[in-house]
């Protein structure tokens, strides 16, 4: 079984409100739709709701009201099915410390049932692109911040996802690595991936993003 195929691959946010406690509403009654090939940059100060919005899209938190659909699927009802389509980079890294980068990518492919005879080459290719050298065989727990970020990015892109949810993916990367990641972003959008990315960096010098969401949402 490969990535889940749906007739309608739009991502729809329908009347979504997120509230953490009484009186603290992050955003209210938000409705929007993202289509394949949309590249959206989330901008705003810390605490304005960008990470909360991405956590909703990646089913790491639930809406207080409203629903989010991917095609006909309500994503919070069927998170496992939905996440087969999603590549994630969280701002807070939570990687298995005793796996190597190579083992991490193999695990990602196998758990999505898309491991095949070309997978080892795909793993080597993306790690080469990101210039994660022979350390790719060492435990992630021994990696520097930049190396951990590269492993996380590789895990997000290795599945050729239909949706990319990226929270500050360029943080901790040097200039060369940043250019390499932007190349991956451009390729993903050309493949009609829905790209949602929060970044304080100069992320759009390459003209990747057609849309900007300014937070806090009104």
| Residue found under tokens 């065989």 | 137
Q: What's the rounded Cα separation, in Å, for the pair 63 and 66?
A: 6
Residue 6 covered by a domain: no
Single pTM value for the model: 0.91
Residue 49 covered by a domain: yes
Domain containing 79 equals: 11-214
Residue 107 covered by a domain: yes
DSSP 148: H
Q: How many other CB atoms are found less than 10 A from the CB of residue 97? A: 11
Q: What's the rounded Cα separation, in Å, for the pair 80 and 85?
A: 9
Number of domains in the chain: 1
For residue 73 the two structure tokens come to: 């699927």
pLDDT in tens, the chain (218 residues): 344 444 478 999 999 999 988 778 999 999 999 999 999 999 999 889 999 999 999 999 999 999 999 999 999 999 999 999 999 998 877 789 999 999 999 999 999 999 999 999 999 999 999 999 989 999 999 999 999 999 999 999 999 999 999 999 998 899 999 999 999 999 999 999 999 999 876 656 667 898 999 999 87
Query: Is 139 buried (19+), middle (13-18) or exposed (0-12) by CB count in 10 A?
Result: middle
Q: Residue 95 belongs to a domain with what CATH number?
A: 3.40.50.300
3-class state of residue 214 by DSSP: strand
């Amino acid at each position: 079984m490969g990535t889940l195929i749906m007739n309608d691959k739009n991502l729809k946010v329908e009347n979504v409100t997120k509230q953490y406690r009484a009186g603290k509403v992050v955003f209210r009654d938000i409705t929007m739709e993202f289509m394949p090939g949309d590249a959206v940059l989330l901008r705003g100060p810390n605490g304005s709701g960008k990470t909360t919005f991405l956590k909703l899209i990646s089913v790491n938190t639930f809406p207080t009201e409203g629903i989010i659909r991917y095609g006909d699927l309500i994503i919070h009802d069927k998170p496992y099915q939905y996440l087969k389509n999603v590549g994630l980079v969280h701002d807070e890294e939570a990687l298995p410390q005793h796996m190597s980068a190579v083992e991490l990518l193999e695990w990602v492919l196998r758990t999505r049932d898309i491991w095949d005879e070309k997978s080892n080459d795909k793993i080597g290719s993306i790690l080469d692109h990101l210039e994660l050298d022979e350390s790719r065989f060492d435990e992630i727990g021994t990696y520097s911040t930049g190396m951990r970020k590269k492993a996380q990015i590789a895990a997000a892109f290795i599945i050729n996802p239909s949706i990319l949810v990226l929270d500050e993916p360029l943080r901790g990367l040097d200039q060369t690595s940043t250019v390499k990641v932007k190349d991956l972003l451009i390729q993903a959008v050309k493949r009609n991936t829905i790209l949602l990315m929060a970044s304080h960096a100069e992320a759009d010098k390459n003209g990747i993003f057609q849309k900007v969401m300014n937070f806090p949402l009104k």
